[in-house]
Amino acid sequence: MDYQHYLKCFIRAILAGMGIGLGGAVLLGTMGINPELKWVGAILFSIGLFTVFTFGLDLYTGKVGYMFDDKPWTYGIDLLIMLLGNFVGTLLIAQCMPMADQFVPGFIDAKIAMLDDPVKIVLKGIFCGILMFIAADVYKTKKSYLGAFICVPTFILAGSEHSIADMFYFCSAGVFSVDALIFIILVALGNAIGGVIIPLCRKYMYEETA
């Protein structure tokens, strides 16, 4: 087992989680000033993905779409390490920037309430996963940040769910519960499903057949 590889992956994942945490903090900050400024926070949230792309960090939602892209089976271990590291990163930022009390009842309770309809949570995660793959692939193939600055505000304003952003929200609100964990798992599953839709369809549509 290549422990150096996994350690580096873990460190990159922590930094990626911190980037998303900063994006979440600015979203909450703008909404705290005025809820009607959510669109401003949605745009500025892109700082998270901008940071991830610029420094080559490991963000679960940006990497999960490539799990079937000629990756070894150990890539699954990488993804689990990314999830753990992303959580640590969001937790660190959340400790520095806790969610304001007025946000906690409505913002967090609304997410927990969705557990009554887990399929809805997964579907919201799928929508976000598709957008995150688009953003990641645009940068990977075009070296353009355009995907990040379009897809991030879209997933926020559309009301979809991003597993790492949700980690930050729960940590920032100080909510560490079984319900929160289940919610994150469902969203992460949806993100994974959404992340592989385009690459799998692309392989089928454009691969040359013998």
- Domain boundaries in the chain? 3-206
Please give the pLDDT value at position 98.
87
Please give the pLDDT value at position 34.
86
Res 144 pLDDT > 90: yes
Residue whose structure tokens are 């990040």: 148
- 98-130 tens-digit pLDDT: 887 777 778 889 999 999 999 999 999 999 999
Q: What is the pTM of this model?
A: 0.93
The rounded radius of gyration (Å) of the Cα atoms in the chain is: 17
What Å distances lie between residue 62 and 184, 192, 199, CA to CA?
16, 10, 13
Task: Tell me, letter by letter, the H, E, C secondary structure of the chain.
Answer: CCHHHHHHHHHHHHHHHHHHHHHHHHHHHHHHHCHHHHHHHHHHCCHHHHHHHHHCCCCHHHHHHHCCCCCCCCHHHHHHHHHHHHHHHHHHHHHHCCCCHHHHHHHHHHHHHHHHCHHHHHHHHHHHHHHHHHHHHHHHHHCCCHHHHHHHHHHHHCCCCCHHHHHHHHHHHCCCCHHHHHHHHHHHHHHHHHHHHHHHHHHHHHCCCC
Please give the pLDDT value at position 57.
98
Q: In the predicted model, what is the mean pLDDT of residues 175-200? A: 97
Superfamily of domain 3-206: Glycerol uptake facilitator protein. (1.20.1080.10)
Are residues 166 and 160 in contact, defined by beta-carbon separation less than 8 angstroms? Answer: no
Cβ contacts of 127 within 8 Å, gap of 6 or more: 155, 158, 160, 190, 194
Please give the pLDDT value at position 99.
81
- 5-50 tens-digit pLDDT: 999 999 999 999 999 999 999 999 998 888 899 999 999 999 999 9
